[in-house]
Amino acid sequence: MKNKKYIICSGLAFADQEDMEMLHQYALDGWIFKEFKGICYVLYKEEPQDLIFSYDMQKVKKEEQEDYLRIFEEAGWEMIPCKDNTLHFFCAKNGTVALHSNSETRSEQFKTVFYVSLIITLIGIILFIGSIKMMLPNVFAGIGGGCMGGGGVLLAGSYLRLQHKRWIFYLTFTQAVKVLVVGALLILISEIMPDAWSVIRKLSRLIGICFTIFGGMYALTTYRIYRDGKESRGKKR
């Protein structure tokens, strides 16, 4: 494992440019992005290289793959293995013409993400309101809060991308841990509230779950970057 490391993707809807620049900085240090597994960039130790990275989001039919790859290869971009047939990563020598110079092309690729996150958020709202109105077990409020928190953040990010904008919001590892701790404390406080405060207790739990998910996600994605001293990603261009 000394010659391999995993970096969790920060979410292409929010920090795609920052992630690509981070991978560029790693390549300059001899850690080359070679494959994408699950939600992780897999980097291998090699000789330092001045490489840039990009991605494309579209479903490519099997019979169209050859033509699809040839277009990028002729432009100087090499595909990086990824099991997801709707997400494709590429690398090229620094100075190669960008994959997507048109922001509208990039934005349109987030339509599917937007609709999926919308459904997740709506399910969360229904579960949370149902837990209050119908006095359902607290687990429904927890699940609803999780769906609302995770789905809502992704919904906001993908919506802005469809509007040709970006939600540039980035927490350092230390800041993410603080948000996580605040969320955990809110959940703990909600557990010791009296039954008479059921609505306040569930709202406190909802906010706590959202904070915990948000802080936890950022802590996971930034820990390795924090440890490797790469938290200045995106600032060097």
Q: Which of 85, 101, 117 is the last residue of a domain?
A: 101
Q: Estimate to the nearest angstrom the gap between the alpha carbon of 63 and the chain centroid.
A: 30
In a domain, 138, yes or no: yes
Residue 85 and residue 154 in one domain = no
Cβ neighbours for 138, distance < 8 A, ≥ 6 positions apart:
131, 202, 205
Beta bridge partners of 82: 36
The region of weakest confidence among 43-52, 116-125, 135-144 is 135-144
Residue 131 and residue 179 in one domain = yes
Most confident range, picked from 71-85, 120-134, 206-220? 71-85
pLDDT tens readout for residues 137-188: 667 777 887 788 778 878 887 887 777 676 655 677 888 899 999 999 998 9
The count of domains in the chain is 2
Residue 40 and residue 21 in one domain = yes
In a domain, 230, yes or no: no
In a domain, 226, yes or no: no
pLDDT tens readout for residues 3-24: 899 888 877 877 788 889 989 9
Please give the Cα distance from 68 to 237 (Å, whole number): 29
Average pLDDT over residues 98-104: 62
Residue 150 and residue 200 in one domain = yes
Q: Is the pTM of this model over 0.75?
A: no
- Confidence class of residue 91 from pLDDT cuts 50, 70 and 90? very high
For 13, the enclosing helix (H) or strand (E) is helix 12-28
Phi and psi at 163, nearest 5°, equal -90, 10
The answer to whether residues 44 and 32 touch, using CB atoms and an 8 Å cutoff, is yes
Q: What is the pLDDT of residue 230?
A: 62
In a domain, 233, yes or no: no
In a domain, 153, yes or no: yes
The domain containing residue 137 runs over which residues?
108-221
Q: Is the pLDDT of residue 104 over 70?
A: no
Q: Is the dihedral of CA 18, 23, 24, 29 positive or negative?
A: positive
Beta bridge partners of 45: 31
Residue 49 and residue 138 in one domain = no
Please give the Cα distance from 83 to 208 (Å, whole number): 34
Residue 78 and residue 112 in one domain = no
- Confidence class of residue 233 from pLDDT cuts 50, 70 and 90? very low
In a domain, 232, yes or no: no
In a domain, 177, yes or no: yes
